[in-house]
Amino acid sequence: MDYTLIAIIGLIVALLLFVAEIFVPSGGLIAILAITSMGASLWGAWMAWWGTSPGFWWTYIASVVILIPTTIGMAVKTFPNTAWGKKFIHEVPTLEEVTGFQAETEHLRSLIGKIGKTQTLLNPSGFVLVDHERHHCESQGMIVDPQVDVEIIAVEGTRLVVKVVKPTVKETPETDQETSSPDGPLADGALDFEVPET
């Protein structure tokens, strides 16, 4: 068994795995593999050089101490700027992008409570016209016809959540049949009659 080869290959694999652990979420699995590979590399170096070539052993130890932080540092600095790295790492949004999104969100939230009119069929999403502005909207799982009055009740992302405004029915006071006349049957003079004299 070539212990020198185990030491070198184990070190290279461990360095690659340490770098991968930084950029690939694995729940610590890659880190465990990296530590295992590093342990195999140390064992191979011990078996190859400790008893016969102490100079190689200490050179190996110094290389490990220098290579691990250097490799990780270089990877963190250069990998995100490569074309392959940009596929794995999402760029942080700029201040202009964040500010624009916040301003749009605040504007949409200011519409909560207002009444609009559906411009398209909501099935359950579509368009609504509020304050002469056309917005994406969605109902609460209901199909809503066009040209229906709706109330803005919430904001989800860039969409307004709406509900149908039920038309108000004017309540008429109940009329008593006995008081159908303006003055009622018991008004003054309504029951006046002459009593015959005896």
Number of domains in the chain: 2
Check whether residue 64 and residue 131 sit in a common domain. no
**Could you read off the pLDDT tens digit of each residue along the chain, which spans 198 residues?**
678 888 889 889 988 888 888 777 777 888 899 899 989 989 988 888 887 888 888 888 898 888 888 888 887 777 767 766 666 666 666 666 666 677 888 888 999 999 999 999 998 889 999 988 999 999 988 889 999 999 999 998 888 999 998 876 555 555 444 444 455 554 455 455 555 565
Regarding pTM above 0.85, the answer is no
What is the spatial distance between Cα 50 and Cα 44, in angstroms, rounded to a whole number? 10
Check whether residue 125 and residue 65 sit in a common domain. no
Check whether residue 81 and residue 102 sit in a common domain. no
In-domain check, residue 8: yes
Domain boundary among 88, 117, 151: 88
Domain boundary among 70, 88, 106: 88
C-alpha gyration radius of the chain: 41
In-domain check, residue 39: yes
Check whether residue 75 and residue 102 sit in a common domain. no
Domain range for 53 is: 3-88
Check whether residue 20 and residue 83 sit in a common domain. yes
Check whether residue 8 and residue 84 sit in a common domain. yes
Under 8 Å between Cβ of 108 and 153: no
Check whether residue 11 and residue 29 sit in a common domain. yes
Kindly list the distances between the CA atom of residue 148 and the CA atoms of 57, 86, 122, 138, 167, in Å, as whole numbers in the listed order.
82, 47, 10, 13, 11
Check whether residue 103 and residue 66 sit in a common domain. no
In-domain check, residue 34: yes
On the 0-12 / 13-18 / 19+ scale of CB atoms within 10 A, 64 is middle
Check whether residue 115 and residue 66 sit in a common domain. no
What is the spatial distance between Cα 45 and Cα 40, in angstroms, rounded to a whole number? 9
In-domain check, residue 176: no
Q: Which two tokens stand for residue 24?
A: 């690939």
Angle at which helices 3-23 and 54-78 pack, to 10 degrees?
A: 20
Q: Which two tokens stand for residue 76?
A: 């963190």
| CATH assignment at residue 121 | 2.40.50.140
Q: Count CA within 13 A, CB hemisphere, residue 187.
A: 8
